[in-house]
């Protein structure tokens, strides 16, 4: 075999090793698709596990992806009862004059808040966003402050908003990671409002406009979320879809065009669905284990989790998961309901992938004097 053939073989082996990933359980999977975009991420909605990522902490202009937070704040205010969908919102001149994508509301007219919400979500109306912001907070500047407070609460540590629309500003930025967190919160906290994101068209003032998320027409599993584009931001798209009960969120920022952002999102979702699976391990309040309790009016204490526990792993690895429970050397009554008395670890091979507290399912009072004396003796010799 000559040297040139050997060189080619070594090159092919090098390429193969660098385009495959080996999982914790030894499963070999291809590397994620190469996406031409500034930043992108795929996250499982239920587990919060990040499946694909690239420059996810890079601060970028979000363009109209900003409106995901505008909608989140509006949904929060609706849930609190401070505003209603039937409210008639007076349109200011500022809202009417706002440039960019528009719902075509008219100055000094009153528009039902429900229509404005549709205009923001479906038509990506900058005018509707400003009108909604002014109605909720008095001014768009005050609304931006509210947006930042919600961002902080949701753990969006690399985000700062200065407007409700996403129009360019040097101090208006976010990251793919933060947008994934925000999208997860919108779907989780306000599912009724999130339902609006799958509507394909909306007519207002006798003008019919289509949802700019063209994946709603191409992929029946897609039900949101938002497109965005400015010269500074490039073409952006946040998508969520559900297949066989597994919901994913993908964020693509800084793609080259509308078709590029759509194809990138499809490629990322297809990869994640092909090679990963999500399982629900426990529901809130499920009995996980029971343990010995000393000096009590009973012998055992039931322990549970206070949240739904999901896990996302490579396909075929679910059976390799192992639950390891940590409990203190001795648990002595009294015990209050909800008190942490252990930890649940879920391991895959040698890697710990979930660690959550185990809480007492019920209060356990101190036992009688005979029971306490008996346990004192047993503990002495244990």
User: What is the b/e burial string over 247-286, where b = at least 16 CB atoms within 10 angstroms of the residue's CB?
Assistant: bbbbbbbbbeeeebbbbbbbbbbebbbebbbbeebbeeee
Are 34 and 255 within 8 A, CB to CB? Answer: no
Q: Which regions of 244-366 does DSSP assign to beta strands (E)? A: 246-255, 276-282, 287-292, 300-304, 309-314, 321-327, 340-348, 351-360
Are 267 and 336 within 8 A, CB to CB? Answer: no
C-alpha distances (whole Å) from 87 to each of 74, 114, 116, 165, 202 are 12, 8, 10, 21, 19
**Structure token pair of residue 225:** 């979320």
Q: Of 247, 250, 255, whose CA–CA distance to 239 is shortest? A: 250
Is 109 a known active-site residue?
A: no
**Structure token pair of residue 356:** 């959550």
Q: Which position among 124, 137, 164, 183 bears the catalytic label?
A: 124
Is 101 a known active-site residue?
A: no
Are 376 and 295 within 8 A, CB to CB? Answer: yes
Sheet holding 287-292: strands in order across? 287-292, 300-304, 351-360, 340-348, 321-327
Q: How far apart are CA 214 and CA 231, in angstroms?
A: 20
Locus of tokens 């409106």: 67
C-alpha distances (whole Å) from 298 to each of 40, 301, 337, 372, 373 are 54, 8, 15, 11, 14
Q: Which position among 38, 39, 47, 67 bears the catalytic label?
A: 67
Q: Of 236, 86, 102, whose CA–CA distance to 175 is shortest? A: 236
Is 177 a known active-site residue?
A: no
Q: Which position among 23, 39, 64, 183 bears the catalytic label?
A: 64
Q: Of 91, 98, 153, 139, whose CA–CA distance to 116 is shortest? A: 91
**Structure token pair of residue 197:** 């994101």
Which residues belong to the active site? 64, 67, 124
């Amino acid at each position: 075999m000559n040297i040139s053939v050997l060189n080619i073989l070594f090159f092919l082996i090098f390429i193969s090793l660098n385009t495959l990933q080996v999982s914790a359980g030894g499963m070999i999977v291809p590397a994620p698709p190469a996406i031409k975009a500034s930043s992108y991420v795929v996250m499982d909605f239920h587990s919060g596990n990040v499946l694909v990522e690239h420059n996810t902490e890079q601060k970028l202009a979000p363009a109209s992806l900003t409106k995901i937070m505008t909608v989140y704040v509006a949904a929060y205010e609706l849930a609190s009862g401070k505003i209603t969908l039937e409210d008639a919102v007076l349109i200011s001149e500022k809202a009417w004059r706002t440039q960019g994508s528009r719902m075509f509301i008219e100055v000094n007219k009153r528009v039902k808040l429900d229509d404005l919400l549709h205009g923001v979500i479906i038509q990506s109306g900058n005018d509707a966003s400003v009108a909604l912001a002014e109605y909720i907070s008095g001014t768009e500047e005050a609304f931006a402050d509210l947006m930042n407070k919600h961002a902080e609460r949701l753990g969006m540590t690399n985000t700062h908003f200065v407007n409700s629309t996403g129009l360019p500003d040097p101090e208006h930025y976010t990251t793919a990671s933060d947008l994934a967190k925000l999208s997860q919160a919108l779907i989780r906290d306000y599912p009724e409002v999130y339902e609006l994101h799958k509507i394909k068209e909306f007519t207002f003032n006798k003008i019919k406009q289509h949802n700019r998320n063209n994946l709603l027409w191409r992929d029946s599993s897609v039900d949101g979320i938002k497109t965005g584009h400015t010269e500074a931001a490039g073409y952006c798209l946040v998508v969520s879809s559900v297949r066989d009960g597994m919901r994913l969120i993908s964020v693509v920022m800084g793609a080259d065009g509308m078709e590029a952002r759509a194809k990138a999102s499809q490629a990322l979702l297809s990869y994640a669905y092909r090679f990963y699976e999500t399982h629900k391990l426990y529901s809130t309040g499920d009995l996980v284990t029971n343990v010995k309790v000393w000096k009590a009016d009973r012998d055992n204490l039931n322990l549970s989790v206070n949240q739904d526990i999901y896990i996302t792993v490579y396909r075929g690895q679910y059976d390799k998961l192992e639950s390891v429970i940590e409990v203190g050397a001795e648990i002595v009554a009294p015990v209050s309901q909800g008190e942490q008395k252990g930890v649940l670890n879920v391991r895959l091979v040698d890697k710990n992938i979930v660690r959550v507290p185990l809480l007492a399912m019920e209060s356990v009072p101190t036992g009688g004097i005979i029971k306490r004396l008996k346990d004192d003796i047993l503990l002495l010799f244990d």
